[in-house]
Structure formats: C-alpha cells, structure tokens
Structure 1
C-alpha cells in the first residue's frame, strides 16, 4: 500500500473515532540526536482525559520521515509503568518525522500522531 493510501486510511479512522481522539494526552519524548546503526529509545507518557497514567494499553507507533518514501520504522512499545511506554528505533537519516500512534485500551482503539526532528549524533 502506498503512503498516500495509508495516510488517507489513517485520516478516515481518526475522523471515525471522533470525540475519542480527546481521550488521551501523549507526551512524546525523543532524543535530539541518534547514532547510525544503533537503537534509539523513543518514549511516550500517556495520560487519560483526567490526567491519570494509562496502564495496560497496547501501544505501537510507525515513524515516517516527512517527504521521503523509504519505509516506516515500526515499533511495539513496551510498558515500563506509570503510563510510560518505550520502544527502540533505528534511524537511517536525520530529519523531520511523524509518529503515527495506535493505542488499544480496554477494547477501544485510538489513533493519533506526533511530530519530531532528530539529527546525527556529532559527538561520535
């Protein structure tokens, strides 16, 4: 499936979920730089609409470099406690990325996205 079709499907699903898109607050924590050929930790803090940590959810993210079509970086996030979920990504290029996030919590799915930038680690 090409990138446009994936984006279109994601947008449709977001529109279908309607008001449930406000169920979670996601704080995406990424390092400012990465080292090629090494895993880079990506962390999310997920809170419910009352500001309480979301625990026991299945969380995944697809990282896509904006303007490029060299494939997504897919991650299944592991829960570490207190609403924090961590995954590992291997970046090949520095630039601007979009994290398409899926949260499956208590039988309901939520889709959202966060954007971030990352550069090569110059201190190698």
Structure 2
C-alpha cells in the first residue's frame, strides 16, 4: 500500500470520527400511559459532552407515531432547571412514537431522535 492510500484512509477515519461525535446526551422521560383529551407531560434532561446540564437552550420536539400519518404533535419545551426541559402533548392513539428533538444552544444546532411507547390509560 502506498503512502497516498494510507493518507486517504487516515483522512477518512478522521472525518468519520468527527461526524459521529454527539454534542448532547438526551434522557427522555415519558409516562407509560395517557388519558385522551388531556395533556401528557414529556420531560427530557439534556447534558453536554462533559455530562454537565445544558441550561438556557431552545428546545422543541415533534412527536410522530410510527407507521401512521395523522400528523405530528409539536411541542416547545420549557426549561425547569438543571438541564431539565418539559413539554405537554395530547395523544390520540397508543403506540410507538419517535420524538424528533431540536436543540439550539449557544449558536450550536442539533437534531436527534428518541423512541418511546405509550398506552391508553385504562383506569378511567
């Protein structure tokens, strides 16, 4: 293998490593069940790459039910302190959802996904 090929491989590895770094750790907390026509709290804790709480970010999430096309549930998340952000969602159906999370923090924009499941609250 010549020196040029080795240089190309090293550059590709550096690019792959840089692109795969994750700027934030998101911990999503959702209730196991919901009550129709009532708001359900969705909470997330956002940490930076050093594990410190992210404070003062603009955070939003779009919830989409997997395999269905009845529209997204959009939420602007409100900061409650210590890197915790909370939003309210009104679910119509139980099932598997994907939360597309957008974070804008100190000019840095990030988009990621988390998945969760929720069922109808049968205690009503």
CA separation of 1:68/1:56 partners in 2, compared to 1, >3 Å: closer, same or farther? Answer: same
Quickly say closer, same or farther: Cα 1:39–1:57, change in 2 above 3 A.
Answer: same
Q: Distance in 2 between matches of 1:98 and 1:3?
A: 45
Contact kept? 1:14, 1:112, Cα under 8 Å: no
CA RMSD of aligned residues (A): 9.8
* 1:18 aligned counterpart, secondary structure: helix
How far does the alpha carbon of each residue in 1:65-110 deviate from its partner, in whole angstroms, 9 at most, with x for none? 0000000000000000000000000000000000000000001100
- Measure the CA separation in 1 of the matches of 2:3 and 2:72: 10
Which deviates the most, 8-17 or 101-110?
A: 8-17
Gaps of 5+ in 1: none
User: Which one has a bigger Cα radius of gyration?
Assistant: 2
Match of 2:21, SS state, is helix
Q: Is the alpha carbon distance of 1:67 and 1:45 closer, same or farther for their aligned partners in structure 2, counting shifts above 3 Å?
A: same
Structure 2 residues without counterparts, runs of 5 or longer = none
The 3 A distance-change label for structure 1 pair 111 and 21 is: farther
Give TM-score scaled by structure 1 length: 0.84
**C-alpha distance 93-6 of structure 1, shift in aligned 2 (>3 A):** farther
Are the counterparts in 2 of residues 20 and 110 from structure 1 also a CA contact under 8 Å?
Answer: no
- Structure-1 separation of matches of 2:85 and 2:105: 13
Q: How many positions carry a matched residue from both structures?
A: 124
Structure 2 CA distance, aligned partners of 1:2 and 1:13?
17
Change (3 A) 1:118 1:110: same
Structure 1 moving runs of 4+ over 6 Å:
1-18
